Amino acid sequence: MIIGCALCMELIDATVVMTALPQMASDFGAPSIRMNLVVSLYMLGAALCVPVSGWVADRFGPRRLFVIAISLFIASSLACAASNSLLQLCLSRMLQGAAGAMMVPVGQLILLRWSAREDLLRNLSYLTIPALIGPMIGPPLGGLMVTYWSWHWIFLINVPIGLVGIVLVLRHIPHYPGVRERGLDMRGLILSAVAMAGLVFGFEALGHGLLPRPWVVLMIAVGGLCGALYIRHARRCAEPLLDLKLLRIPSYRISFWGGNVLRLGTSSLPFLLVLMFQLCFGLSPLHAGLLTLAGGAGAFLMKLLAVRVVRRFGIRRTLIVNAVLTGLTLAACAGFTHSTPYSVIVLVLFGSSVIRSLQYSTLGALTYADVPSELSSRASSLSAMTVQLSMSLSVGLVASLLGLLMNLRGHTVLQTSDVACMLVLCGLACMASALVFRRLAAGAGEAVY
């Protein structure tokens, strides 16, 4: 729960800033379009540091790095609150993203080393709670603070939470000593960092219209080229920074590719719901955010049932059937209109969150079911990197396809039907992941539950 709360703090901070951007633009006297840099540079900082997180955790010990990451997150939050210009805020947010990138995979690594193999599903399922409720709590919490206080409080709230977290980590998290034998793959670090930065920031810029289209294409192309060069380097390097040999493990490989396809469909849901509720239905940020809170309740409920469901049906059947159900519930959101009762909206979002919570709990356990303990840090880093990339790719693609659809239809103003088409497309992507999960063996992952 300590690790989950730290992860939730990072995810809330990544989304809470969205509702405060107009007030920040007014205070800094900056154009509204430039305020998207506050979000995108956070993602850039995270992308640069995710690849090296596993090596640093092995070198200095995961608990020590976890405490350092929380401390850096607190310091960068104070720097954000004290910023007097957009440049200061952007630099502070980039540092905050770097700290957040360390917290997520390192916290997961601690849990992997601490958990008995047969309890892995039960324990990892708690980490899916913040992953689901963080993006949902962020917008209404930001709207509340901006409405009644000021945007500075969305960063200051991290300070007491982080301090309590450090105390709890030092008291309750076991210490695992660092290992000095493994050297740092500098060439791999440079190639992977440039690849992640180019792809993540390129897709973010594509989704939010931050840069002219030629610059976006150039960034994505450079990121893709460095990614290809890294793959070539990793095949020849004895100790690569991101070990692609892990994909030879069947359960890890299928969870890797199936999870990425699934996230392409689900990661843009908060983005699309914000567009639908605020721009199409005309709801306030606070009002729209409160509607999405039903998903948090669904995530908590499924934690009580996840292990029982998987024990009853097995990992393979659960992932296949649930991928289809995930797609259907996302497509059901396309049926929302101005006249849809709030009770129906809340019920659909609640059900969707229950299903997604079960899917990600099961997927997380499968990912590490057959990974040897000595490779857990490498597996965690590789998974964290692809999660970051697929989430950015999802929002960027959806935003681009949404703009293309509006042009084809001749819409100058976003319509509910435009968002509905994207929700259906996201649902189909989730269903497509079932084809990947079908390749699992019948008894895959039995050791973790």
Contacts of 79-88 with C-beta under 8 Å, sequence gap 24+, read 80/155, 81/152, 81/153, 81/155, 81/156, 85/28, 86/24, 86/28, 86/30, 86/34, 86/35, 86/37, 86/38
Mean pLDDT, each 10-residue run in order, the chain (449 residues): 71 67 69 63 74 73 81 87 79 83 73 68 67 63 68 78 82 70 73 79 65 78 86 80 80 88 84 77 71 64 73 86 92 87 86 84 80 74 76 74 79 82 90 90 74
HEC string of 70-127?
Answer: HHHHHHHHHHHHCCCCHHHHHHHHHHHHHHHHHHHHHHHHHHHHHCCHHHHHHHHHCC
Task: Outline where 126-185 has alpha helix (H).
Answer: 128-148, 153-156, 158-172
CA 248 vs CA 237, 244, 255, 256, 371: distances in Å: 16, 8, 12, 11, 10
What is the C-alpha separation between 165 and 156, in angstroms, rounded?
15
Helices 315-332 and 306-313, axial angle in degrees (round to 10): 120
Identity of the amino acid at 167: V
Class of the CATH-defined domain 1-173: mainly alpha
pLDDT for 270: 75
Contact 216, 270 (CB under 8 A): no
What is the C-alpha separation between 174 and 195, in angstroms, rounded?
34
pLDDT for 153: 78
pLDDT for 285: 63
Query: How many other β-carbons are positioned within 10 Å of the β-carbon of residue 338?
Result: 8
Residue in 380, 251, 358, 363 with CA at minimum distance from that of residue 306: 358
Neighbouring residues of 404: CB distance < 8 A, sequence distance ≥ 6: none
pTM of the model: 0.74
pLDDT for 427: 92
Identity of the amino acid at 305: L
pLDDT for 324: 93
What is the C-alpha separation between 110 and 373, in angstroms, rounded?
11
* CB neighbour class for 159 (10 Å; exposed up to 12, middle 13-18, buried from 19): middle
In three-state secondary structure terms, 222 is helix
What is the C-alpha separation between 197 and 189, in angstroms, rounded?
12
pLDDT for 223: 84
pLDDT for 187: 80
Identity of the amino acid at 291: L
CATH superfamily of 245-442: MFS general substrate transporter like domains (1.20.1250.20)
pLDDT for 356: 84
